[in-house]
Amino acid sequence: MGTAVDYSNAPRTNGQQMPKATGPANDTSDALRPSNPDTASLTRAHMKADARAPRHRINRKALGHVWQSLDIFVILILTVTGAYAMSGGAVTEVAAGELLPLLAFAALCPALAMLMRLYKVEPRETASGRLLRALTATATAGTVITALAHVTAPNVMHLVATFAITSVGAVTLLHVIYAGFIQHWAKAGRLARNVVLVGATPNASKLIKANAGSGTVNVVGIFDDRKARSPQALAGAPYLGTTDDLLSWSLLHEVDRIILTVTPKAEDRVRLLLTKLRALPHTVCLLLDLDSFDPAETSLDDIVGVQAARMSGVEERFGHLLAKRLQDILFGLGLFLATLPLMMLIGLAVRLDSRGPVLFRQVREGFNGRPINVLKFRTMRHDPNAADKPVRQVELDDPRVTRIGGFLRKTSLDELPQLWNVLTGDMSLVGPRPHAPGMRTGGTETANLVAEYAHRHRVKPGITGWAQVNGSRGPLHSPEAARERIALDVAYIDKSNFWFDIWIMLRTLPALLGDKINIR
């Protein structure tokens, strides 16, 4: 687990304040430039090696929705329990006026919690502040229903008051627990976006200083093509190289967003940078307006969300992401349990057919190009030295394929263990098929053949996909085949939705059984 990047206490050279940049928006002053090129290159290499991007980050908006759902569930449980206790088990015989205060609490408490912004997760918020707002919301709801009981059910007012006190305490305790989790995750940097800035400009410096200590964004580093004009560090954030270095950076898959801090007025430079960065699956934002920026009131996260234009990448759709994850869990679990007996028989057949492990683990590129281990039944003869040999795609009548392996590959049953990858969140049921890092087509790296290749990493890879049901399966042996598959993958991403995924899953089996051409 990484740690949050906080530049508020970054060390200064020789204990001096870092001088202000006085050059134009696309430049930095001479005082920021390293004096010795060799020393600067060595320092940058160390900074690049030491750069840290916190992993396993948590979507704050999704977390807020989860806590809201949990609150509603607990409040409903409290309401049902209160009604049962008040009626002695005969809820249907209780007068409507006596139940009204309890039902009012069930409706009023979540509404007041939303009004008090209790489901907006802010890493920089203090635990005492959250506790105060939670107590205000719940105590207000408790007071209102107690007053209501005085009018509608004076005979059971003492029971309603007991219910109110119990419920206020229970819901407030929940938010005390939430506050503890927020502090723990914020300290670990898990509630912040990992971002890199492109452009070592005064604007970038201003943004980094504004974000210092807020915990809303982890500024991992700065990239700038103008190496001679770039400092070793800017406002404490390390300079990590040029945009070409960014494209090949080992931590790129942990970056959530790329921010262009170059002034929009430098149109030629912005256009050049966007041409390079559009090859990445990441969201790329161009900052628009900093004239009204107030560091005391606005964080870098606010600016990225409001005062920036999304120039490339896929817009976050929380509803779609939630529906897709629920689809993966429910359908994936059902398919896993239904096929478990079959997988046990296949595992036994693989073990009896040839020496070696039953399962084969392959390193593949997942969401944002992050390396993941994909499971398959072993279909080829076990080679202990395979890791030291160049990857070779399967060919027709390949002697490496075992007897049972040939059947498994033709029916795609070798991919059933990937249902476990779906349940763990590394893959999805539907999406572009996972490719090996540095996959080659006709001797050339596939990423160099298709400009949009990285765009297929904007979603999780899938067990089946739009390309597969349209006949693009198996190894890619020509640039034309590679371009066709990537075009289908990108088309899927553009129109992905719940029902489209269902349609692809329904078409998968007939497409596989009817495919007599592709080598698998």
Domain assignment of residue 386, yes or no: yes
Looking at the fold, whether 203 and 173 belong to one and the same domain comes out as no
How many whole angstroms separate alpha carbon 307 and alpha carbon 274? 18
pLDDT of residue 380: 83
- 97 within 8 A of 120, measured Cβ to Cβ: no
**pLDDT at position 332 over 50:** yes
How many whole angstroms separate alpha carbon 125 and alpha carbon 339? 47
Last residue of a domain, which of 279, 312, 345?
312
Write down the residue that tokens 């002034």 correspond to: 263
Neighbours of 260 (CB within 10 A): 25
Looking at the fold, whether 211 and 239 belong to one and the same domain comes out as yes
Looking at the fold, whether 149 and 278 belong to one and the same domain comes out as no
Mean pLDDT lowest among 219-233, 284-298, 414-428: 284-298
Domain assignment of residue 403, yes or no: yes
pLDDT tens-digit readout, 341-361? 999 999 999 999 888 899 988
- The more confidently predicted of residues 332 and 90 is 332
Determine if the pTM surpasses 0.75. no
Looking at the fold, whether 74 and 43 belong to one and the same domain comes out as no
Looking at the fold, whether 382 and 476 belong to one and the same domain comes out as yes
pLDDT of residue 270: 81
- 429 within 8 A of 323, measured Cβ to Cβ: no
- The more confidently predicted of residues 130 and 392 is 130
Mean pLDDT of 26-52: 49
pLDDT tens-digit readout, 258-315? 888 887 777 788 888 887 887 788 888 776 544 544 544 445 555 554 444 444 555 5
- 241 within 8 A of 48, measured Cβ to Cβ: yes
Angle (nearest 5°) at CA 49 between 46 and 53 = 130
How many whole angstroms separate alpha carbon 338 and alpha carbon 23? 66
pLDDT of residue 287: 67
Across the chain, mean pLDDT equals: 78
Picking from 191, 266, 235, 368, the residue whose alpha carbon sits closest to that of residue 26 is: 266
> What three-state secondary structure class fits 286?
strand
How many whole angstroms separate alpha carbon 192 and alpha carbon 186? 7
pLDDT tens-digit readout, 488-506? 998 998 888 899 999 999 9
Mean pLDDT of 104-118: 94
Domain span at residue 392 reads 318-513
Q: Which range, 29-33, 59-63, 232-236, has the best average confidence (pLDDT)?
A: 59-63
Looking at the fold, whether 343 and 399 belong to one and the same domain comes out as yes
How many whole angstroms separate alpha carbon 122 and alpha carbon 351? 52
Looking at the fold, whether 384 and 418 belong to one and the same domain comes out as yes
Picking from 340, 330, 312, 323, the residue whose alpha carbon sits closest to that of residue 498 is: 323
pLDDT tens-digit readout, 185-209? 888 888 888 888 888 887 788 777 7
- The more confidently predicted of residues 42 and 58 is 58
For the chain, what is the domain count?
Answer: 3
